[in-house]
Structure 1
């Protein structure tokens, strides 16, 4: 409850200032209460960008306890009173319209973007030296928070089916709960007992370090079970790295199967918590595509070049900003 009520306090503090802006634009439920108050108190339009939806993330109850019910209420209230809602993917738009009483005309898809000057291929191997990664041996890279959403449990299961002639770098930190941290620790220890060359970076690395890791990786892997957009795939693509990812949510709108990487079908529950119905098959399928791509450096290079091109053509901040500005201009300011 501490994080939930801490967010409320900041939202109230925000509204004690004299807000003279034309509109209020909120991202994530932690800010939504501030947007609700600003719309009511100052009479300005409320815009919300949806990066994820609380009803589809029941595992957050492990982290928030009773605060999860509060997050559900805040999100529902804000979305249903918003003047405009931005969905970061087409699938997210459909989820919003299915789960909430929101007029579809008020929901617009505007994908996330990245700074393409910051996220680009670099030659530096400083991060590899820092973390003990052999620069002369290819590696598979995972980057993500330690949460069930990111599918780390499926990646760990898949490792036993992967060839042993490449390294596996797990850049995974910020566990949702102490229990999840312990689960990750035990899973990595079991994997290390099966094979050599597994490096766990238990740290939320900065952008510069992330770019170095992306750039030198042979393959980036994203085994998420729920992903409204999946910006990490876009970051890897911008750094010219081939991607192997689960075919879920907004990932399918970022990664093009057979062009910028491989998408792996995931048989899962149709409703949250989206658990895999056949985790063994998913693990084997992930490993098979990784093994195939590791053996084909020419294909990896082709995927990497195509990924950068796709990022430049569709996901630059200038493109996203222009679409957002156009949306603002449709509101009564």
Structure 2
């Protein structure tokens, strides 16, 4: 079976959960199929990678809207997969490549929905008119795909709600995974010292992009009510827009006026450093307002950190309330209530170290037992085989 994986992100350019998903899925799939990866061009990838082909946006579109540039990459990807038996696309940035390949070569198109454009209206702030184009690309591809993989049951429900013309039998659930040999508790604290984190004081850790989706402004407002002894560590970068970047900076500065130990790490850290920060966090915070699954919660759990997360999307399928962490209901109509409840949950976990330890251990056990990438790859191949066998 010859499979073409189509994606924007691939190492060394991974900035979100979709990129993590493709990185590890590709690794495991190679033991089960002939896999070629087609991704965006990279300035960081200076050496060729076997089985990986990078595609650049058309030079004539330099300076054009990002959505137009994305579609030009899709054309290049589609041109490169004529020898594949099946293509599997990830995110709207690559969905049209899969759709065009299906039309051009008559091969099946499988797409994994990591998020849905209709549920991310704030993207219009980032993409302008390109959001209308990205929404069209997603709708066109998803409604014609031979199979759609949802990363959670909650995501499957969202897909069928947003795209009612899609037959339910075409939508399969295959959860995101985690490499629990890579993500595991690390006793080393060198990363804490490097980034100014006091190992003698508990800290709340956030890891994620500065986007509306990740809800980090809610966390910054909730942090006003954190126990004064608690540090707040924000591994937060890649802001979607200048406006949300400015909002984030202002909230950080405002918080620093009322409490110490508000640490912002704006760059994307090497994975070993992130693992160390996760391993020693008193609690990991995930205040997302929309999250199909949330790989970052799995990463925290695999490193033994208790998780306090918003009860949205697929998060409750990963974080078990009062077992591996605490879930906080989110109501977009009452953000103040959410922020107050978030602060209460974070303070509660920090105050009860025995419960926090039990949650961290249970989270690690759950990640190992239910979310290994080898099992995720086998479930994905089962979808391929079902489609190819029709």
TM-score range, shorter chain: over 0.9
* Aligned equivalents of 1:48, 1:15: Cα separation in 2: 14
> Would you say the 8 A contact 2:256–2:262 is kept in 1?
yes
Q: Which runs of 4+ in 1 moved over 6 A?
A: none
Query: Which residue of structure 1 aligns with residue 177 of structure 2?
Result: 113
Residue of structure 2 aligned with 1:234, choices 280, 298, 309: 298
Query: Which residue of structure 2 aligns with residue 19 of structure 1?
Result: 82
Query: Which residue of structure 1 aligns with residue 12 of structure 2?
Result: none
Query: Which residue of structure 1 aligns with residue 111 of structure 2?
Result: 48
Structure of greater relative contact order (alpha carbons < 8 Å, 6+ residues apart): 1
Q: What per-residue deviation string (whole Å, max 9, x for no partner) do you get for residues 10-62 of structure 1?
A: 11112223521110000000001110111011110000000000010010111
Query: Which residue of structure 2 aligns with residue 296 of structure 1?
Result: 352
Structure 1: unaligned runs, 5 residues or longer? 268-275
SS at match of 2:213: helix
SS at match of 1:248: coil
* Pairwise CA distance, 1:3: 2.0
* Aligned equivalents of 1:266, 1:183: Cα separation in 2: 21
* Aligned equivalents of 2:81, 2:348: Cα separation in 1: 59
Structure 2: unaligned runs, 5 residues or longer? 1-63
Of 11-20 and 243-252, deviating more is: 11-20
* Aligned equivalents of 2:379, 2:181: Cα separation in 1: 20
Residue of structure 1 aligned with 2:266, choices 202, 207, 225: 202
Q: What RMSD in Å do the two structures reach over aligned CA positions? A: 1.1
* Aligned equivalents of 1:205, 1:3: Cα separation in 2: 26
Residue of structure 2 aligned with 1:178, choices 230, 238, 242: 242
Change (3 A) 1:282 1:17: closer
* Aligned equivalents of 2:122, 2:247: Cα separation in 1: 14
Query: Which residue of structure 1 aligns with residue 189 of structure 2?
Result: 125
* Aligned equivalents of 1:301, 1:37: Cα separation in 2: 50
Residue of structure 2 aligned with 1:97, choices 136, 139, 160: 160
Residue of structure 2 aligned with 1:317, choices 373, 383, 386: 373
* Aligned equivalents of 1:37, 1:206: Cα separation in 2: 36
SS at match of 1:329: helix
* Aligned equivalents of 1:9, 1:115: Cα separation in 2: 33
> Would you say the 8 A contact 2:235–2:267 is kept in 1?
yes
SS at match of 1:189: helix
* Aligned equivalents of 1:322, 1:313: Cα separation in 2: 15
- Residues 1:148 and 2:148 are matched in the alignment: no
Query: Which residue of structure 2 aligns with residue 82 of structure 1?
Result: 145
Q: What per-residue deviation string (whole Å, max 9, x for no partner) do you get for residues 54-75 of structure 1?
A: 0100101111111100001000
SS at match of 1:33: helix
> Would you say the 8 A contact 2:81–2:101 is kept in 1?
no
* Aligned equivalents of 1:16, 1:294: Cα separation in 2: 53
TM-score, structure 1 length as denominator?
Answer: 0.95
Query: Which residue of structure 2 aligns with residue 271 of structure 1?
Result: none
* Aligned equivalents of 1:292, 1:64: Cα separation in 2: 39
* Aligned equivalents of 1:95, 1:296: Cα separation in 2: 36
